[in-house]
Amino acid sequence: MTLNEISPHLVSLQAAPFRVHRHRAMGTEFCLYLEALDQEHAEANERACFQAVFEEIDRVEAAFSRFRASSEISRLNRQAALGPVVTDPEVFRILAETQSIWLKTGGAFDIALGRLSRAWGFAERAPHVPEPEAIAEALSASGMALVALDAEWRTVQFLQPGVELDLGAFAKGYAVDCALEQLRAAGVAGVIDAGHSSIAAVGEPFESQWLIEVRLPPLEEPQDWSDPLSADCAADRVLSAVPLHGRAMASSGIMEQKFEQGGQTFSHLLDARIAPSIAPRLDRGIAPSVNPRKPGSDPARLMLQTTVLAPTSATADALSTALFILGPEEGSAVLSNFENACALWVYQDAAGIGWQHRNWPGEISGLNEGNCSSAFHPQ
């Protein structure tokens, strides 16, 4: 068995022996690939290892999930508009980190969009395009600018009633980071893959000898399965395979949680800088206005996927979200604010599907840079 048979996003070029364990948490499935332990550290310790990893993921979820009424994030959401609320050092540190990334990304990454997400129905998993008034109302209580953090007293305060924190994928990435610490402490090598969107590893051979694949997102149902070219559009194709070398990988894509209304396709990734959703459209040949405030970007471009390598899984997750919203031009500039991070954008424009990257460490194949390979041209 290779990793590729288990997870479509992982591939092993060196068939090191490993064991896989799965755990559902944070609305997704966490897969843990553990090095096969020698006899001395056989079953009992392997079990202890994956239990510790999954317990750690559950611990992070219990503190950071906005879906749990008993979580610290929920408590802050209930109380922080009433006055400064003292929180524990870990939660404060994470909120301060998200604030720093919010600043460095010019607001493209923002965890205080819970209200806006609710207006779009993403919170209730019933997405719809809200009325303009509802968007305006939600925006008045959205954004990290409304969240005051006081490091001296470790307090969190909302400057407007109705602000809601939602750490989203950042919490998932942070759970991966914390879970890796458990493996590190136990001295065991392994990979953690959170729902195929956040991947990180610790120890040889997983960090450097194993390659992680980035695939072209499946676009849409092929019109004709018997037509190989059409079917190719739907198949997720390998764009690049890179070793992690101590970094974490995260991807954001349009295919997750997208919805259609009025002939338009909308993404769940919200851009509070301009208001609603980034509202990308999948209509071919039409030039959707992805982000009217982005003078440098090509208005005809539809972002499909961003993949980021960064020192931590949480940062990688934050960046993949922000860079999806920003696009390659603005995104490349933002990326220079982050050490040891790189990104790969995949998009669709009038010419077809193309990609751009910044500091990407591996070869990219299957598509032409900046333009579309005819083999993938979705005509």
Partner 1 sequence: MDSLEKRANLANTSAEDGSAAAQGTASLDRREFLGLAAAGLAAAGLGAVALGLEACKSPQSIAASDWVNVGVIGVGSRAQHMMQMLLRVPGVRITGLCDIYPPRLDEGRKVTGQQTTGYADYRKMLEAKDVDAVMVSTPLGLHAEHVIASLESGRPVYGEKSMGRTLDDCNRIREAARRTGKMLQVGLQYTYAPWYVEALNQIRKGNIGQVTQVNSYWHRNNNWRRPVPKGASADLEHLLNWRLYKQWSGGLFAELGSHQINFANTIFGAMPESVMASGGIDFWKDGREIEDNVHAILRYPGGQTLQGSFITTNRLEGAQERIYGTGGSIELTHTDATYYAEPWYPGSAIPPEIQIQHKLVTGPTYSAEQPYHGKGKMPIQGSASDADLASVGAFVDCIRNHKRPLADENAGWSQSVTVALCNRAMKLGSKLTLQEFLASENPAEV
* Span 5-44, contacts to partner 1 by CB under 8 A: 41, 44
Name the residue nearer to partner 1 (CB basis): 103 or 185: 185
Name the residue nearer to partner 1 (CB basis): 64 or 120: 64
Residue 204 within binding range of partner 1, rule CB under 8 A: no
- Give the CA radius of gyration of the chain: 21
Using the contact rule CB under 8 A, the part of the chain among 104-112, 151-159, 264-272, 274-282 near partner 1 is: 151-159
What's at 132, amino acid-wise? Answer: P
**Contacting partner 1 (CB under 8 A), which of 22, 24, 93, 293?**
93
Residue 284 within binding range of partner 1, rule CB under 8 A: no
Residue 155 within binding range of partner 1, rule CB under 8 A: yes
Residue 184 within binding range of partner 1, rule CB under 8 A: no
Q: Shortest distance, CB of residue 94 to partner 1, whole angstroms?
A: 12
Name the residue nearer to partner 1 (CB basis): 167 or 372: 167
The answer to whether 19 and 31 have CB atoms below 8 angstroms apart is no
Residue 74 within binding range of partner 1, rule CB under 8 A: yes
Q: Shortest distance, CB of residue 156 to partner 1, whole angstroms?
A: 11
Name the residue nearer to partner 1 (CB basis): 86 or 286: 86
The answer to whether 19 and 4 have CB atoms below 8 angstroms apart is no
Q: Shortest distance, CB of residue 97 to partner 1, whole angstroms?
A: 13
Interface contacts to partner 1, rule CB under 8 A: 41, 44-45, 47-49, 51-52, 59, 63, 69-70, 72, 74-75, 78-79, 82-93, 153-155, 182, 185-188
